[in-house]
Amino acid sequence: MSYTLYNRPGSGGFVVEAALTLADAPFELIELDSKVGTPLPESFRATNPWGQVPTLILPDGATMTETSAILILLALRFPDKRLAPPPGTPAHAAFLRWTIFANVNLYEAVIRRGYPFRFTDDREGYDAVRSAAIRRMDEALALVDAHVAGPFLLGEEMTVADVYLAMLLAWHRGDIEIPRLSRIVVAVRDHPVVGPIWRRHYGER
């Protein structure tokens, strides 16, 4: 039995597609006919009532949403593929910390920048929401950059947390020196498995 991933080009499902591919998991990719920054088709709410991608249908038919939760689940389901460090280790604790941190602080900042109408009903406040989101993302990225343990976030081996961070950097619109994270982006973009998926979604960004 296989997974089904709903996404649209350039959206957050990139990292889920990469994780499924790294895991050698059988999956069907359904790309919705919708551009990033525009509403998804209303009919998609039958699949995900919150109306967001990525949405992953598990082999048992259950629906899984929230990018960080999906990544953690896949890492646990495919331990031999080393998508994350082994559970119970200090490195796994760090993996959980930064994967959730990325979701709450980085991904959310991207959403606030791109969809300010979700965060204020005052149209005149849209620019303020956007600028605050960019500033907050810069602050969060600086914190993560300071905690990079090696060539990758957690040390010597790439995990899906690195792929996640690279994706968020591709969406970044601020101006900040984050040399460690910048090197991770290059490594992810050049990865023999993840690289082709990256270029399909983001080109040479």
- pLDDT band with cut points at 50, 70 and 90 for residue 109: very high
Sign, CA torsion 110/113/114/119: positive
67-104 per-position pLDDT tens digit: 999 999 999 999 999 999 999 999 999 999 999 999 99
- State the Cα–Cα distance between residues 185 and 204, nearest whole angstrom: 11
Domain span holding position 62: 3-81
Task: Tell me if 96 is assigned to some domain.
Answer: yes
Domain count, the chain: 2
- The pTM (predicted TM-score) of the whole model is 0.95
Cα-to-chain-centroid distance, residue 73: 14
Structure confidence at residue 65 (pLDDT): 97
Structure confidence at residue 133 (pLDDT): 96
Are residues 8 and 69 part of one domain?
A: yes
pLDDT of 37 > 80? The answer is no
Here the CATH number for the domain that contains residue 67 is: 3.40.30.10
- State the Cα–Cα distance between residues 140 and 143, nearest whole angstrom: 5
- pLDDT band with cut points at 50, 70 and 90 for residue 36: confident
Structure confidence at residue 1 (pLDDT): 81
**C-alpha distances in angstroms, 59 versus 4, 5, 27, 120, 161?**
8, 11, 9, 38, 23
Here the CATH number for the domain that contains residue 130 is: 1.20.1050.10
Strand segments, DSSP code E, in the chain are 3-7, 27-31, 55-57, 63-65
